[in-house]
Amino acid sequence: MRVYLQRLSGFSRAQITRLIDRRLSTGRLIVMAQPRHRFTVLYTTADRQLLARIDNAHQRLSGPATRRLLERARRPWRQNALSGQNISSAHIYNLRATPAYQRLAYTFAGTKSVRVAIGVRRRPDPEGRPGWIRVDTVHQGDLGRKKGAYHINLVDVVTQWEIVLCVEQITERFLVPALEGALSMFSFRILGFHSDNGSEYINRIVAALLNKLLIEQTKSRAGRTNDNALVEGKNGSVIRKHMGYGHIAPRHARAINEFYRTHFNGYLNFHRPCGFATITVDRRGKRCRKYEIYQTPYERFRAIPEATRFRRAGVTLSALDEEAGQQTDTQAAAAMQRDKDRLFGVFDAIKTGGKNQRFHAPQTRFIPQKEAKSQTYRRHSVVKLQAHL
């Protein structure tokens, strides 16, 4: 019965219990109108409408500025209402939130998206053709107020052919020559250039460069995080994995760029396999991705029908075959790692605890599963002990 009365009346369990006790003790129930405390209405609808007219005339200034306007126009106002002596700047914002004000106010508006005529806002569709690249910038950490170097990552959508560069700054002085050199390092013609909406790529100088090379420029759409997902994944699995997250001074950008040009880009494109997804659609219309094919970018390019039709002028498949067969995959990786260790050895030392800590290339150490579990247990135990202390 209690549950039935609770469902029927909408009262809580405690309210139903009090009503039952009152009925049993007094024999009857009386509707009691308990007066609630109400604040005195100081600002009427006319005051809110008058505030809306003032904001419309001045295009809605800040609260303190509007309060000063009310002080200057004290005569038309009632002394106990919107007078500058009584109303506060904070309460002006409260009045602006009322329906009486918002029915007349028209100076507030939502955030407007930035409209730049450079580039087409869409996701490119390569239709199985190489030459549609995605580009992004990776910052190599900060040290206080000192900025680090910048890596430029360019990845082809179809073949995952990747070219990485390094510049001191992402200004026009450094970025435009680097982009022009990077576009010439691909073995096929570049047809499309897709980036996010950053100003380092969406500007008139880069647009003029791409227009001169007859390359279509596109940019990511708002709210579509997958438009540039390929190069974002390469930023973590390639650049961050090999270069780390620590600060590297911009003056070392030339040495890093030389390492990329001589060893790193060749290793990525001829000796490092990449996963290529096979997309299927099930009965419910859901797209399923399976990574069953692993090939190097050059192998993927050679597997394209009529690959010679897409190659860049002056590049032959026989020359690419010769470059790919100069070393085995392990030999190329070992040579790249040795050169990377020498590169990190010339970086500036970081002073930690009064000692100079030299840079070392990021390394991955493989340990047995049993030892890994014990190390994980010890690490969590130390963290708990530190938190307890």
Distance CA 325, CA 180 (A): 28
Strand partners, 167: 150
CA 133 to chain centre: 19
Q: Model's pTM, two decimal places?
A: 0.65
Q: Which sign does the torsion angle of CA 184, 189, 194, 199 carry?
A: positive
With 60 as the cut, is the pLDDT of residue 374 above it?
no
Nearest to 296 by CA among 326, 275, 323: 275
Specify whether domain 120-357 bears CATH 2.60.40.10.
Answer: no
CB-CB contact of 149 with 273 (8 Å): no
Contacts of 282 (CB under 8 A, 6+ apart): 288
Residue spans per domain, the chain: 1-29, 45-102, 120-357
71-127 per-position pLDDT tens digit: 777 655 454 455 545 788 888 999 998 888 888 887 555 666 666 778 888 888 888
pLDDT of residue 114: 63
DSSP 147-207: E--EEEEEEETTT--EEEEEES-SSHHHHHHHHHHHHTTSSB---EEEE-S-TTTSSHHHH
Q: Coil, helix or strand for 38?
A: coil
Q: Measure Cα distances from 125 to 131, 196, 212, 221 in Å.
A: 11, 16, 22, 14
What value does the mean pLDDT take over residues 236-259? 90
With 90 as the cut, is the pLDDT of residue 162 above it?
yes
283-332 per-position pLDDT tens digit: 888 888 888 889 899 999 988 888 888 888 888 888 998 988 898 989 99
CB-CB contact of 131 with 156 (8 Å): yes
Per the listing, tokens 């419910």 go with 284
